[in-house]
Structure 1
Amino acid sequence: MNLLLEHRWEHALVAAVIEAASKSNGGSYLGRTAMQKLMYFLQVLNVPMRFKFRIHHYGPFSDELADTLDWLQADDVIEDRSRETRYSNYAPGENWHEIKSRFQSDLGQYQEMIDAVAKAMGGMDPDQLELIATLDFCYRWVHARGGNGPWKELTIQKFKQIKGDKFTDSKISDSYDRLARVKLIQQ
């Protein structure tokens, strides 16, 4: 046994997402920002986890997830292959298979969803991930406040309060429509 730390479900889930993204997106970078967004969307899709997401500079962010990434690196479950300290490029580490075997049955229940999210979003650039994750977060915020819509207009208003003019109106609208087409949000 090479693991030094006690690991829980969320640790195995994070490492499984890193493995899935590594397999499906070849040479793409998988950094801190991308991991925050991939995990956020898995939570939206009801994969159980205890991470709490809030809006941060680059969209939905979980402090607990950031800490988990550090712990997984410390225990060689994941590794950072980046050559620059200001960026990360996560990949499965030497001890990944040990934690994977402990949580195999739990991971198996969600593997198809993990693979789908990693494939669909793992290769996106950070700005694209920031845009769609923040839009989704804003939609959920607006929707939770009640009412009957119009969801798109209200969501975009909230989005612009947070992001200002960082993204063009057409990019925001197109991204909203894409999220609606895949049924993550409503029109």
Structure 2
Amino acid sequence: MIQPSRLVYSNNPCAAFMAAIVRSYEQQVGGRHYLGRTAVQKLVYFAKALGVPIPCSFEIYTYGPYSDAVTFSVDSMLADDVLKDTSNDPQTYSNYRLGENADEILGSYQSLIEPYRQVIDGVVQSLGNFKPQELELVATLHFIHHRLKQIWRRDPSKGQVLEEFRRVKRGKFRESEIDAFYNALRDAKLI
């Protein structure tokens, strides 16, 4: 007898890729850091930017690149127990881990996820230990660079990216941090 799916709200590719990112996070980072809302947004952003076909779009927002679809997927995954929030104070912060039904979605979408597993693992390995503020900084720099490149149809200069970053973030980060993260993105050939 075929068992009915326990996935009422989250049986879709976006949720499946997000579950794969959380699984990779659990395997590589474990309990050393919280995986909150900001971190999930930024890990999904970079996975998509590096070619994982996650069906969502990002716009610049308070904490950097943000997707309504990612937020909706997190809520859907929580409702379906694909994700669980293990935070002691969920009103203040989240700490996402895989829930009881995660294996169902990961199994159902395995053939879609598998070709991108190395990219997902690479994103988590590179960025999984970053603090939310660092993820905000690096993702915003990346987003601004690529948005300007799209608009201008050429690579913007470092000065142009940093000028736009300062306009968007208005003194939230120190110049030394901005410069260091820009250089790290450039050295990693991400911009």
TM-score by length of 1: 0.94
Which of the residues 19, 24, 29 maps onto 2:34? 29
Q: Where has structure 1 moved over 4 Å in runs of 4 or more?
A: 147-150
The amino acid that maps onto 1:179 is L
Can you list the C-alpha shifts for 1:12-70, whole angstroms capped at 9, x where unaligned? 00011011111111211000000000011111111112211111111000011101000
Corresponding residue of 2:143: 137
Corresponding residue of 1:158: 164
The amino acid that maps onto 1:2 is R
Question: In 2, distance between residues paired with 1:82 and 1:125?
Answer: 16
Corresponding residue of 2:50: 45
Question: In 2, distance between residues paired with 1:147 and 1:103?
Answer: 35
Which of the residues 137, 161, 183 maps onto 1:177? 183
Alignment of 1:90-109 (within 5 A): 90-109=96-115
**Count of aligned residue pairs for this structure pair:** 185
The alignment's C-alpha RMSD in Å is 1.3
Query: What is the SS of the residue equivalent to 1:145?
Result: helix
Does the 8 A contact of 2:149 with 2:156 survive in 1? no
Change (3 A) 1:14 1:148: closer
Corresponding residue of 2:83: 78
TM-score by length of 2: 0.92
Work out the percentage of aligned pairs sharing the same amino acid.
Answer: 38
Corresponding residue of 1:8: 12
Change (3 A) 1:147 1:97: closer
Question: In 2, distance between residues paired with 1:122 and 1:142?
Answer: 26
Question: In 2, distance between residues paired with 1:149 and 1:110?
Answer: 27
Question: In 1, distance between residues paired with 2:75 and 2:156?
Answer: 41
Does the 8 A contact of 1:142 with 1:151 survive in 2? no
Question: In 2, distance between residues paired with 1:62 and 1:136?
Answer: 15
The amino acid that maps onto 1:106 is L
Question: In 1, distance between residues paired with 2:161 and 2:56?
Answer: 23
- Higher mean C-alpha deviation, range 170-179 or range 5-14: 5-14
Q: CA deviation at 1:169?
A: 1.3
Q: CA deviation at 1:105?
A: 1.1
Alignment of 1:51-62 (within 5 A): 51-62=56-67
Structure 1: which 5+ residue stretches go unaligned? none
